[in-house]
Amino acid sequence: MKSRLGFRELVARGADVVKGDVHWSDEHRVYLKAKLKCQSCGHQDPIRGAVQYQLPDGTALSAGQHMGLLPKEAIAQCRSCSARWPVFKGGSTAAIGAGSGAVETIETDRSLVPHRTDPLELDNLDGTSPLKHTVTISQEWAQTVQLDDEKSKVEGGTTSADLPGVGTFGRKAEAAVKSTYSITEGTKKALTREFSFEVPPGTKRVVSFNYAQVWQHEVARLRGADGAVAEIPFKVAVDMTVNVAQHDTTA
């Protein structure tokens, strides 16, 4: 009785041959050994795989064609960052194009953006001795990346045909930034501080905890084979700060 092995079953058994004497490319072998994890951005999907299979002209291959019947010229493209590589040895990297090159990121400046304000009232108007109070504040924030697609541009060169579209470039840039800052989906951080106050008798003090998000601004750059340069600005939430202001009124 013959057994029909699907694509993922062949991978699980460490098969080296899929069609005849066709072998995995070095890039695809690394992807498979990493349990279907993209080596460019770290995206991983153990259910459907991190990549979409295509022909060199970009034509997507249907799920049925993945079952051990991929054509020799098949190309794998990451669903997250759009990185591409040949599936089999002998595959043409020329068909992939210069748009798959590494994304360069350049730091520009930082900015503080007000996030929220939490008030605290310490009333000692009727007191005859100092009022001592200690409070612990905590503010959770997400380490996110925001691309400014409207300010993306392509300069120089004779053509931008070998550069990816804004959507693809944006995904590649976002993946590169997330890798640089070790950001994964749903990355959360928290700012926690402890403050102590002493309010004199006959005094009411209103304390304001003013939170601000710290953004690192950068530019992602990708160079084409003919010298054309694509750029897209972006910012990364890298920190959260808190500033304390207080106002006293007396009886």
Summarize pLDDT for 47-103 with one digit per residue, the tens: 777 888 877 666 777 655 554 567 777 888 888 877 778 888 776 544 444 344 567
Query: Domains in the chain, please, with CATH?
Result: 1-96 (no CATH), 104-250 (2.170.15)
Question: 0.85 cut: is pTM over it?
Answer: no
DSSP secondary structure string, 35-86? TSB-TTT--B-TTT-SEEEE-TTSPBPPGGGGSS---TT-EEEETTT--EEE
pLDDT tens readout for residues 24-44: 888 888 888 888 888 778 888
Q: Percentage of the chain surpassing pLDDT 90? A: 30
Q: How far is CA 219 from the centre of its chain?
A: 14
